[in-house]
Amino acid sequence: MRVRGYSLLLGFLIVFSSLQALGQNWNDHLKSGMAYFEKGEYDKAIAEYTKQIDISPQMADAYYDRGLAYVKIGKLKKAITDYTKAIELRPDWDWAYGNRANAYDMKGDHQKALLDYGKVIELNPDNFRAYFNRGICFGNKGDYDNALADYTHALELSPNNRDCFINRGMVLTSKGEYDKAIDDFSNAIEINEQDALAYSNRGWVYYKKGDCTSALADFDRAIQVDPNFYKAWTNRRILESHKKNCSGVSRQDMAKRGNIYTQRGFEYYNQGDCNKSIDEFTKAIRTDPKYAIYYYNRGCAYEKKGASEDAIADYTKAIGLTPDYSSAYINRGISYRSIGNLDQAISDFSKAMKIEGEKADTLLERGVAYFEKKEYSLAVSDLLKALEFSPNDLLPYMKLGHAFLFQGKKDEALKEYRIFIEKYKPNPTDILVDDFSTLKKRYPDKVSLIEEAEKELGMAEQNGEGK
């Protein structure tokens, strides 16, 4: 379920580079690992780093670099273990602390991430990356005051950093400090006059202030710079649907109130308290009943609660207010699929792709819907396309294996499952075992096929009695 608000922090953390960390200790395995890493062949890189560790178990660089590779394939727990070993061997290594902090933040363990970023700053008070990444971490926690302080310090260290201006501008927007946010986005534009994100974000703040003329100019400029930047198109459509209400202070005050309720709604959502999240999003809706994103956000909370019918109603309202709201179509499709309305789900996923083009996650969702509808050829087509767009995603390999298996193409199915296993390394509690168990219950006529595949994969015992 994709939750989106009025603005989002940049979704990346600056990696503390390994190239400079190698020092004089590297040898052939470390060299080979780095070469594979640079080519994106992370499993092979891990194998080389592991060989180096077997030869030199006290070499901090090898653990550190293997940690970087584990992050690339999504194995954050193993990455954290390697960074921790590197720190044990080299206690004053600020980059190891920094990347362990990144991994903790990606896992959602913000408190441990903050401690590690603090250690980086203690070891190297002029480390720009640490302040920037800690700002993201504070933002993810909803601690905007500390995020603002860190971005400001980062800008003191790197005065012309576009990403810092963008992120600080987003934090200021969340705090309702619109004039300061406009200044930051303007600074980003001065650094790069072709920055579509900066134009779109500044336009959004102008819209929040009730200045529709300036907002429209910025949205149009963002689209001119990047015609495929769908967020700018969405913002422009929202502005057009609200233009008659864009008239000054009262709207600005209501927008601030809506932002406060929305922020609280996200906080409760992330804590898993769906009822309180729904209450806050409802309060946001009361500040502006014609604002599509508020309904969208509440729909996400309803779906997380398991109230799919209520979620569908909210997504439908959001679409009514903003007819090209692709994310609302996607999430409504997921909700329709959860209640078994597969035709409507497929229709919604298709509409989303007409709006924003084919994307891996939408193709995956529609492929799963086709699979559940037993239209296996169409499922295979969508899942193969999803992998073309994003070959490093794991889930499409497993779902493609299911579709091939149910088509009676066992060899093709086993090939996809093995790719998934190689990347995911399942154990008795992992996703493939659980999925096989679910498939047996849902499709009793396919049990023999599934069990045959389990046997071929050496998973029969894992998915046996008690699962």
Give pLDDT tens digits for 139-166. 878 889 999 999 999 999 999 999 999 9
Spell out the residues 6+ positions from residue 462 whose beta carbon is closer than 8 angstroms to its own. Answer: 426, 427, 428, 433, 454
Alpha helices in 39-127 (DSSP H): 42-55, 60-72, 76-89, 94-107, 110-123
Q: What is the pLDDT averaged over residues 175-184?
A: 94
Contact 280, 300 (CB under 8 A): no
Q: What does the alpha-carbon distance between residue 424 and residue 422 come to, in Å, rounded to a whole number?
A: 6
- Whether 462 has a pLDDT exceeding 80, the answer reads no
C-alpha distance across the termini of the chain, in Å: 27
Q: What does the alpha-carbon distance between residue 363 and residue 367 come to, in Å, rounded to a whole number?
A: 6
pLDDT of residue 7: 30
Q: What does the alpha-carbon distance between residue 22 and residue 18 come to, in Å, rounded to a whole number?
A: 7
Q: What does the alpha-carbon distance between residue 380 and residue 289 come to, in Å, rounded to a whole number?
A: 41
pLDDT of residue 336: 96
pLDDT of residue 246: 53
Q: What is the pLDDT averaged over residues 66-74?
A: 90
Q: What is the pLDDT averaged over residues 251-262?
A: 62
- Whether 413 has a pLDDT exceeding 80, the answer reads yes
pLDDT of residue 250: 42
Q: What is the pLDDT averaged over residues 348-366?
A: 91
Confidence of residue 395 (pLDDT cuts 50, 70, 90): confident
Q: What does the alpha-carbon distance between residue 343 and residue 168 come to, in Å, rounded to a whole number?
A: 43
Angle between helices 308-321 and 326-338 (to 10 degrees): 160
113 is written with which tokens? 């991430």
- State the Rg of the chain over Cα: 24
Q: Residue 32 is which amino acid?
A: S
pLDDT of residue 325: 85
7 or 111, greater pLDDT: 111
Contact 138, 147 (CB under 8 A): yes
Q: What does the alpha-carbon distance between residue 16 and residue 102 come to, in Å, rounded to a whole number?
A: 9
419 is written with which tokens? 């790719």
How many other β-carbons are positioned within 10 Å of the β-carbon of residue 246? 19
Confidence of residue 40 (pLDDT cuts 50, 70, 90): confident
Spell out the residues 6+ positions from residue 105 whose beta carbon is closer than 8 angstroms to its own. Answer: 13, 113, 133, 136, 137, 140
Q: What does the alpha-carbon distance between residue 369 and residue 353 come to, in Å, rounded to a whole number?
A: 15
Q: What does the alpha-carbon distance between residue 273 and residue 118 come to, in Å, rounded to a whole number?
A: 30
Confidence of residue 428 (pLDDT cuts 50, 70, 90): very low
Distance from chain centroid for Cα 394: 15
Instruction: Tell me what percent of the residues of the chain surpass a pLDDT of 70.
Output: 87
CB-based burial, 141-180: b 16+ in 10 Å, e otherwise: bebbebbbbbbebbbebeeebbbbbbbbbbbbbbbebbee
Q: Residue 446 is which amino acid?
A: K
Q: What is the pLDDT averaged over residues 251-268?
A: 69
Q: What does the alpha-carbon distance between residue 299 and residue 313 come to, in Å, rounded to a whole number?
A: 8
How many other β-carbons are positioned within 10 Å of the β-carbon of residue 9? 18
29 is written with which tokens? 């395995």
- Whether 98 has a pLDDT exceeding 80, the answer reads yes
Q: What does the alpha-carbon distance between residue 97 and residue 336 come to, in Å, rounded to a whole number?
A: 44
Give pLDDT tens digits for 296-326. 989 999 999 999 999 999 999 999 988 888 8
27 is written with which tokens? 């040898």
Torsion of CA 219, 224, 228, 232, to 10 degrees: 0
Give pLDDT tens digits for 192-246. 998 999 999 999 999 888 888 898 899 888 888 887 777 787 777 777 666 544 5
pLDDT of residue 363: 94
Confidence of residue 2 (pLDDT cuts 50, 70, 90): very low
- Whether 405 has a pLDDT exceeding 80, the answer reads yes
pLDDT of residue 256: 57
pLDDT of residue 109: 87
What's the count of helices (H) and strands (E) in the chain, helices before strands?
A: 25, 0
pLDDT of residue 243: 56
- Whether 259 has a pLDDT exceeding 80, the answer reads no
Contact 272, 246 (CB under 8 A): no
Instruction: Tell me what percent of the residues of the chain surpass a pLDDT of 90.
Output: 52
196 or 8, greater pLDDT: 196
C-alpha separations of 154 from 159, 175, 206, 297, 372 in Å: 8, 19, 26, 32, 49
**Domains present along the chain, CATH in parentheses:** 9-158 (1.25.40.10)
18 or 109, greater pLDDT: 109
